Amino acid sequence: MARDTDSDARAGTASPPNHRAVSGIALILAAAALLQSSLVAGFATQSQAASGGDQVAKLEASNGRLESRVAGLEATRPTVPDWAGIAAAIEPSVFTVVAGDWLGSAWVVSSDRRGSFLVTNYHVIAGAWEAGVTVVELHQGDQVYPAWISRADPADDIALIEVDTRFPALATAKVRPALASPVMSVGSPLGFDGTVATGVVSGYRSLDGSDWLQFSAPISPGSSGGPLVDGRGAVVGISTEKAVGDGVEALAFAIPVQTVCTALTTCPDQV
């Protein structure tokens, strides 16, 4: 702008000499004022940019702290068992046992190329065993497998059944689950095979000289001998009996699986 004004002056446009001097001073002052204004504006723009950068940094730091808190909460959140997945994995190893006029449930504790060993309650096969009959049937859906009682332990109310077909064995728990741990019973209440029900470990009892795992999942006649599994799918007990009476609810009992693994048979897959 100053250059244009000087060029107009040289071309003789309009102003007396003293006016040109005054005008030049005014223009210089105006130019100085404009430069100062530009510097101030530039400084303001830089300050705003710096302020915006600080705000972004603060937001990023805040987001980082929030993400850390969320990760911490997720790490401490109780995991919910995938019961549908566990049931699907377990059911091929659980059977209905038919022993004469009695029926109950059984589950595979071990297997090899020669066949499988299954655990059930002694009272399920007691009628046949005490009558000298060792042959029983294992039912699973429409399939029926002939089997036989290979060992009985009336004192602990457990028995071992053998079949010459190989089925997948279930893992067993090394230690008993904590109180309030989620559990699922699998069995054949009233002959309805493959029935599942969930609950929690309610307590541990010593009754008549025997140890019991108390749980809240519902069971019925025919459930006896079926596995009670934890949130990993490992067997923690053998569903055996329940309390009945007016006002009595969710009061079932299982023989701890450790009794099976020490008194009846070897449990090869302990977790």
* Diameter of the chain measured on Cα atoms: 140
Q: Check 23, 123, 153, 211 and give the catalytic one.
A: 123
Residue 123 known to be catalytic: yes
Distance of CA 69 to the CA centre of its chain: 21
Two structure tokens written together for 244: 């009945």
Nearest one of 212, 157, 223 to 184, comparing CA atoms: 223
Q: Check 93, 188, 216, 224 and give the catalytic one.
A: 224
**Contact assessment for residue 174 and residue 135, using Cβ atoms and an 8 Å cutoff:** no
How many CB atoms are located within 10 Å of the residue 264 CB?
20
How many Å apart are CA 151 and CA 107, to the nearest integer? 15
Residue 157 known to be catalytic: yes
Q: Check 157, 202, 230, 239 and give the catalytic one.
A: 157
How many Å apart are CA 203 and CA 201, to the nearest integer? 6
User: Which positions are catalytic?
Assistant: 123, 157, 224
